[in-house]
């Protein structure tokens, strides 16, 4: 069961459960891969997309969904963590998706967390996206404070891939994954808001009651840098796919 509506120019689909919402996002990604030659996907890390990635892996195993012709660009990476560090976003993507499907490793792009020249790494990342023809479908999650990727409140609309400082809140949230506080990364490379807004389509998945206020701020609050996700309202093709818990503070609910 789902409810579909438009709020502030964003197509909002509300599903009863987080599983149903993840299934809907897996359907969007599958459709993009199967209908477009040389599909370019923008991918996200975090707890939210894990179920969706599992569904894509199952479809690869059981229904022959092929990633052989797909190129991927991830949103962000921690500075200081090499690809083989267990908490790197590269390691996350390998474990959750890439190791289990037929995507070619050399077509899976994630900013390097150990680049000697970070600003060169950022501009090269932007060029690689352009050379690949731009992102067809960008998958996004939503932070409790309205962040998208590591674009925290205050990130400019025109921001591109760059080094950012993690907020104390994010550092604290991450501390549980590291041996001690000292090893928690303080910086990251993230695609910027302008980079994200250049994707042809954006699909955001948000689940759980703890995100309800952020969802409401994104679609019903003011558009501005204080809520980076609200800036997606400047994009013509955004789908917001949520479960009932995450939609609880929307008027539609």
In the set 28, 32, 51, 76, the catalytic residue is 76
In the set 28, 51, 77, 147, the catalytic residue is 147
**Shortest spacing between CB 50 and ligand PGA, in angstroms:** 8
Structure tokens at 82: 């090499």
**Shortest spacing between CB 149 and ligand PGA, in angstroms:** 7
First to last CA, the chain: 13
Closest among 108, 28, 37, 105 to 75, alpha carbons compared:
108
In angstroms, the CA 55 to CA 58 distance is 5
**Shortest spacing between CB 70 and ligand PGA, in angstroms:** 22
**234 flagged as catalytic:** no
Report which residue's Cβ sits closest to ligand PGA. Answer: 46
Give the per-residue contact string, 143-172, with ligand PGA (x = CB under 6 A; - = no): x-----------------------------
**Shortest spacing between CB 233 and ligand PGA, in angstroms:** 18
Q: Give the residue with the Cβ less far from ligand PGA, 111 or 143.
A: 143
Q: Give the residue with the Cβ less far from ligand PGA, 112 or 190.
A: 190
In the set 23, 85, 100, 145, the catalytic residue is 145
**Shortest spacing between CB 160 and ligand PGA, in angstroms:** 19
Contact between 134 and ligand PGA per CB under 6 A: no
**76 flagged as catalytic:** yes
The correct pick among 42, 111, 113, 141 for binding ligand PGA (CB under 6 A) is: 141
SS (H, E, C) the chain: CEEEEEECCEEEEEECCHHHHHHHHHHHHHHHHHHCCCCEEEECCCCCCHHHHHHHHHHHHHHCCCCCCCEEEECEEECCCCCCCCCCHHHHHHHHCHHHCCCCHHHEECCCCCCCCHHHHHHHHHHHHHHCCCCCEEEECCCCCCCECCECCCCCCCCCCEEEECCHHHHHHHHHHCCCHHHCCCEEEECCHHHHHCCCEEEEEECCHHHHHHHHHHHHCCCECCEHHHHHHHCCCEEEEEECCCCCCCCCC
**251 flagged as catalytic:** no
In the set 51, 77, 121, 152, the catalytic residue is 152
Q: Give the residue with the Cβ less far from ligand PGA, 36 or 173.
A: 173
Range 16-55, binding ligand PGA (CB under 6 A): 46-48
- Kindly determine how many residues on this chain lie close enough to bind ligand PGA according to the rule CB under 6 A: 6
Phi, psi of 182 (to 5 degrees): -60, -30
**Shortest spacing between CB 104 and ligand PGA, in angstroms:** 26
**60 flagged as catalytic:** no
Binding residues vs ligand PGA (CB under 6 A): 46-48, 141-143
> Active-site residues: which are they?
76, 145, 147, 152
């Amino acid at each position: 069961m789902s409810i579909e509506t438009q709020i502030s120019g964003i197509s909002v689909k509300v599903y009863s459960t987080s599983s149903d919402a993840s299934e809907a996002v897996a359907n969007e990604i599958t459709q993009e891969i199967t209908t477009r030659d040389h599909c370019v996907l923008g991918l996200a890390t975090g707890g939210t997309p894990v179920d969706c990635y599992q569904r894509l892996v199952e479809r690869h195993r059981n229904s022959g969904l092929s990633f052989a012709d797909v190129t991927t660009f991830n949103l962000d990476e921690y500075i200081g963590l090499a690809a083989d560090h267990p908490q790197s976003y590269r390691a996350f993507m390998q474990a959750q998706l890439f190791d289990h499907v037929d995507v070619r490793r050399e077509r899976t792009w994630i900013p390097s967390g150990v680049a000697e020249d970070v600003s060169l790494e950022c501009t090269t990342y932007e060029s690689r996206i352009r050379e690949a023809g731009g992102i067809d479908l960008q998958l996004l999650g939503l932070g409790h404070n309205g962040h998208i990727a590591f674009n925290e409140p205050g990130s400019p609309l025109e921001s591109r891939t760059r080094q950012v400082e993690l907020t104390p809140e994010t550092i604290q949230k991450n501390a549980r994954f590291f041996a001690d506080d000292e090893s928690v990364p303080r910086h990251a490379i993230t695609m910027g808001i302008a980079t994200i807004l250049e994707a042809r389509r954006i699909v955001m998945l948000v689940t759980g009651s703890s995100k309800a206020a952020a969802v409401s701020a994104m679609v019903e609050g003011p558009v501005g840098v204080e809520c980076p996700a609200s800036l997606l309202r400047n994009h013509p093709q955004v789908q917001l796919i949520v479960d009932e818990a995450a939609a609880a503070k929307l008027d539609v609910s």
